[in-house]
Amino acid sequence: MADAALASSAFAGFRLLARRPLTFLVWGLGALAVWAAVLGALFAASPGGFGIHLFGPIGAPVLWLTATILICAVFRLVLRTQERHRIGLRIGPDELRLAPLVLVLGAIAAVCILPLVLSGPQRLAATAILLLISPFLCLLAPAVFATRRLDLLQGFRLAWRRYASLLAMNLLIAGIYATTTVLLGHFWKWMILVNDTRIDQAIHRGTGAVGQMIGIAGVLAILIYGALLIIVTAPAAEAYRRLTSPPAPGP
C-alpha cells in the first residue's frame, strides 16, 4: 500500500494545478512579464528585426533562472505547508542553493536525452539509462530544498531504500510527459496549419506583424510548458514528503 501511494505521487502536479489554479495563473503572468522583457530587449538590440543571434546568451540564463524560481515555488507549496498561502515566487537562499543543482541535473538529462533523436538501439539505451538512474536523481533537489543545505546523500539514501517505488513513479511521469508532448506536437502543427495564411501575410507585412505572431505563440508556450514543468516537478517533492514525514499515529 505504501509503495502504491508513493508511486501515485506521479499525479501530484495535476492535484496542485487543480487546487491552486489562481496561484499558477499569477506564476504564468510573472513568467510572461519576464519573457516580454527579454523579447523586447532582443528587438531593441537589433533595430532591423528580431535579434535571434542574442537569444542564446540572453534567453538561456533567463530560462535557467525562471525554471529554478518556479521549481522552488512548487517545492514550497508541497514541502512547506506554512507558506502555502503565499505566491512563492522569489529569489532567495533557496533559489541560490538550488540553481547549480538545477543546472547539473538539466545537463545530465540533456546528455541522456540527446541520443533520443537517433533511432534503434541508441534510443532504447538512452531511455533505459535515464529511467534507471532517475530514482537516484529525482530526490536530490527536494532534499536540498527541504534541509536548506547541499546534502545530496540524503536523496541517494532515500532512493536506495525505495528504488522500485520511485522507478514506478518516474515511469508514470515519463508516460505522462511523452503523451503530453505528443499531443502538444499535434497542437502546434494544427496551429501552424490553421494560421498558415496569417503567417504568410505577417511576413509580407513586416517585422511588427511577425512580432505579434511570435508574441501570441510565446504566451501559449509559456503557459503550456509552465504547467508541464509543474506536472513533472511536483511528484519528486511529494515523494520526498511522503518518505520523510513521520508515520501517522495508530488508532
Residue extents of the structural domains in the chain: 2-244
User: What count of residues does the chain have?
Assistant: 251
CB 229 within 8 A of CB 71: yes
Does 125 score more than 90 pLDDT? no
CB 66 within 8 A of CB 34: yes
Task: Summarize the confidence of residues 136-165 as an average pLDDT.
Answer: 89
Does residue 206 have a pLDDT over 60?
A: no
Q: What is the predicted pLDDT for the residue at 250?
A: 41
Averaged over 60-85, what is the pLDDT? 83
CA 222/CA 219 separation, integer angstroms: 5
Among residues 45, 25, 38, the alpha carbon closest in space to that of 64 is found at: 38
Q: Do 124 and 115 touch, CB atoms closer than 8 A?
A: no
Residue 14 exposure: Cα atoms within 13 Å on the Cβ side: 9
**182-191: average pLDDT:** 72
- Which parts of 20-92 fold into alpha helices (H)? 21-45, 55-79
- Dihedral sign (CA 77, 100, 107, 25): positive
Q: Is the pTM of this model over 0.75?
A: yes
* 88 three-class SS: coil
Confidence check: pLDDT of 55 > 70: no
Buried b (16+ CB within 10 A) or exposed e, 126-146: bbeebeeebbbbbbbbbbbbb
The 10s digit of each residue's pLDDT in 27-46 is: 877 777 777 777 667 666 66
